[in-house]
Structure 1
Amino acid sequence: MNGQGRVSPGSAAPAEERGCSWLNIWVFLIFVLAVKAAFVALCLWLVVPICHSSDQPSALQQQFSQWECDSAVPQGTDGGWTCCPKGWRRFQGSCYFLSSDTMSWSESAQNCSGMGSQLVVISSKAEQDFLSEQIKQSKEPKPDNFYIGLFAEKVGQWQWVDKTPYNETAAFWRKGEPSHGHEENCVIMYRDTELPNNWSNVRCWNYHRICEAAAVIV
């Protein structure tokens, strides 16, 4: 005879035990749903701000859907990710595009503008050194010369595309440059020259280009 309170083999479990089993299943399902919801929220937090980090997304943000981000937080900002369009190169707070094709200076300026950027404005030796190294490391077939955003409407009257004042003491001209040719009103960076001074003024023919835009902070 079975003792009181014992259940014979094959007999049904008490109702209390069956209830606990269903309770465990519901707890598990709720946990799975919570994990999925958290994952979706994380994806939205990381991806959506790239496209909608402000009420008026920048021109750069409107042009690109694929981005590369890192978690290096620039000093003095509140964001946690610094992002550039895929294929662009980041230095400090800027993104740079080094072209593989060539265009005239005016076409280059227009092309950069169409991507929500501008021909690069070099404001420090650190930036000059970075770009010079990027040019040297380029794998494209002999991309020797790259336009920057410096030009002259009149001989010797140099100006940057964004109206930044031109500072002759902070320029990086090659020895003997700039020359005073009447049609040499555009400026390129030479790949194979002694650094950091690799600027030269040239006629505004077809060369590669460097575009620059502010990195997106999210």
Structure 2
Amino acid sequence: MAEVLYSDIKFKRARGNTDASSRRSGVTWERVALLVLSVLLAAALTALGVTHETCPRCEDGWEPHGGKCYFFSSVTLTWNKSRNQCISMRGDLVVINNREEQRFLESRVMEKKEAYEYKFWIGLTDSKKEGEWLWVDDAQLDPSLTFWREGQPDNRAWATSDGQWNPDGEDCVVMGEKDGATDLKSWDDRYCKYSQKYICEKPEKA
């Protein structure tokens, strides 16, 4: 009888030790699995962050600034052809919304000007109604936010190639001053069929 009881006690102790060992082993594996998952998650988040930071905000040839992408042409076109070119690139001629944007554009135009050809078309015109200046998005020009050169706009008539005066006057707007603008005032109305460089804009990639 004593032997049976002793054996039972030994068996129960042994089984108890096994259960405890299994529990300890289970806890260890859970910790290892949790650690591995944490490392994988951290690596994935890091990879996503790097991808987001290195993903270009603008296409090649476009410059990012203030949530928009800007394209400064190297060729000259009429105002309408310039606008069509911008639209073909999923943008439009630039609409200037504040002084900071005007300052950025003026500085870039100064860097990109060549000889006398230093002016660029922007998306402002009064071709629909003389004196009513509209942006290409149909927004009216804010009188408190204009950057006309002194004496502009003047709607001066242009002489055509055959020496005749053009009665259409100047209905489209360029920006840029050869020697730099005073107080950012560099807008000038021009004959829309004159060839100038141009500035396109569109939103940055999401």
Place the TM-score, normalised by the shorter chain, in its bin.
Answer: 0.5 to 0.7
Structure 2 counterparts to residues 10-21 of structure 1, below 5 A: none
Change over 3 Å in CA distance of 1:117–1:94 after alignment to 2:
same
8 Å CA contact 1:143–1:191 kept in 2: the answer is: no
- After TM superposition, give the deviation of residue 140 of structure 1 in Å: 5.2
Report the secondary structure of 1:113's partner residue: helix
RMSD, matched Cα:
2.9
Asked if 1:207 is matched to 2:196, the reply is yes
Aligned to 1:29: none
8 Å CA contact 1:160–1:166 kept in 2: the answer is: yes
Asked if 1:127 is matched to 2:127, the reply is no
Asked if 1:158 is matched to 2:133, the reply is yes
8 Å CA contact 2:155–2:190 kept in 1: the answer is: no
Rounded Cα–Cα distance in structure 2 between residues aligned with 1:191 and 1:99: 17
Q: Which structure 2 residue ranges, 5 or more long, are not aligned?
A: 1-39, 157-167
Report the secondary structure of 1:136's partner residue: helix
Residue among 56, 64, 70 paired with 1:90: 64
Which of the two has higher C-alpha Rg?
2
Structure 2 counterparts to residues 46-57 of structure 1, below 5 A: 46=51
Change over 3 Å in CA distance of 1:140–1:87 after alignment to 2:
farther
Tell which has more relative contact order, 1 or 2 (C-alpha 8 A, sep 6+).
2
Higher helix share: 2
Rounded Cα–Cα distance in structure 1 between residues aligned with 2:111 and 2:137: 27
Asked if 1:145 is matched to 2:131, the reply is no
Report the secondary structure of 1:170's partner residue: coil
Rounded Cα–Cα distance in structure 2 between residues aligned with 1:143 and 1:98: 13
- Range moving further from structure 2, 184-193 or 125-134: 184-193
- After TM superposition, give the deviation of residue 88 of structure 1 in Å: 1.2
Aligned to 2:153: 178
Amino acid at match of 1:186: C
- Range moving further from structure 2, 106-115 or 164-173: 164-173
- After TM superposition, give the deviation of residue 162 of structure 1 in Å: 0.6
Change over 3 Å in CA distance of 1:142–1:215 after alignment to 2:
farther
Structure 2 counterparts to residues 53-92 of structure 1, below 5 A: 83-92=57-66
Aligned to 1:191: 177
- Range moving further from structure 2, 149-158 or 98-107: 149-158
Count the aligned residue pairs. 151
Rounded Cα–Cα distance in structure 2 between residues aligned with 1:85 and 1:139: 22
8 Å CA contact 2:112–2:118 kept in 1: the answer is: no
Amino acid at match of 1:185: D
Amino acid at match of 1:176: G
Rounded Cα–Cα distance in structure 2 between residues aligned with 1:152 and 1:201: 9
The C-alpha deviation readout for 1:62-85, integer Å capped at 9, x for no partner, is: xxxxxxx66xxxxxxxxxx66011
Amino acid at match of 1:190: G
Rounded Cα–Cα distance in structure 2 between residues aligned with 1:216 and 1:191: 31
- After TM superposition, give the deviation of residue 100 of structure 1 in Å: 0.3
Asked if 1:117 is matched to 2:120, the reply is no
TM-score by length of 1: 0.61
Identity %: 33
